[in-house]
Amino acid sequence: MSVKERKERERAERERLIVATARELAEQQGWDAVTTRRLAERIEYSQPVLYSHFHGKREIIGAVALEGAAELAAAVRAATAAADGPRERVAALARAYLDFAARNPAVYDALFQLDGGLAYAQEDTPEPLKDAFAALLECLAEVAGDGVHPGMFTEVFWAALHGLATLTRAGRLLPEDAEPRVELLVDRLAMV
């Protein structure tokens, strides 16, 4: 291995460590606890080393969001692949999405609540974000209905899931009604 390859590998490992540490700290204490000073202390590198990878917290949030988008896409695809029939796939998608949001609140915030400097729904949207939407679209396109644009239907269904995820997390919805909400969403919005 050349010196250049070794340095690139070490740089990538440091970057993964920074992102993993930021994510861990955010999941434990919230995003307000994620500062470059704290990250530098936890990973035992200087703040200038952190700044050589990320220009600040915003870029770190963006990196966590991209990692989370890939994980969300994988979770949705795994759940829908294991389901038989359109209704079961849509219900599996909804459960996987809501489960992801509940299990990864800081990542979910990085994806959809915080400014990570990422472009959404634009030409320059990063691939992991496009792929997460594509994972939803792959399942929902088959139930969009005649004359309904599959992408728009996916956006509306996603908005409903996002609302359920954020309202549940904020304690505005009764947790014991989570499954009936999924059933209602699938039966009435997806009409499968």
Per-residue model confidence as pLDDT tens digits over 71-118: 999 999 999 999 999 999 999 999 999 999 999 999 999 999 999 999
Query: How confident is the model at residue 4, as a pLDDT?
Result: 85
CA Rg, the chain, in Å?
A: 19
Q: Give yes or no for residue 192 having a pLDDT over 80.
A: no
**Cα separations in angstroms, 174 against 5, 32, 159, 160, 169:** 53, 27, 19, 16, 10
Q: Do the Cβ atoms of 38 and 50 come closer than 8 Å?
A: no
80 CB-side CA count, 13 A: 22
Q: Where are the alpha helices (DSSP H) in 57-177?
A: 57-81, 86-103, 105-112, 127-140, 150-169
Percentage of residues of the chain with pLDDT beyond 70: 99
180-191 mean pLDDT? 90
Query: How confident is the model at residue 129, as a pLDDT?
Result: 98
